[in-house]
Amino acid sequence: MKICMINNIDEPHERRKRKVPLKLGGGDINSSNLTIKDEYRVNSFYAVLDEIVTSIKDRFDENYLSIVVLCEKLFLTKVLLSNDELKEIACFYNMHYDDLRSEQRLYKTALDEKKDWSLAASTKFFIQHNFHLSLSTMTELLKIMWTIPVNVCGCERSFSSLRRIKTYIRNTTGQERLTCLALINIERDYEIDIDAIVADFVSKKDERKKVF
Average pLDDT over residues 190-196: 80
Q: What is the 3-state secondary structure (H, E, C) of 49-73?
A: HHHHHHHHHHHCCCCHHHHHHHHHH
Which of 50-64, 102-116, 122-136 is the least confident region?
50-64
Q: With 60 as the cut, is the pLDDT of residue 107 above it?
A: yes
Tell me what pLDDT residue 195 has: 86
Find the mean pLDDT for residues 116-141: 87
Q: Spell 63-101 as b/e; 16+ CB within 10 A means b.
A: eeeebeebbbebbbeeeebeeebbebbbeeeebeeeebb
Determine the pLDDT at residue 163: 76
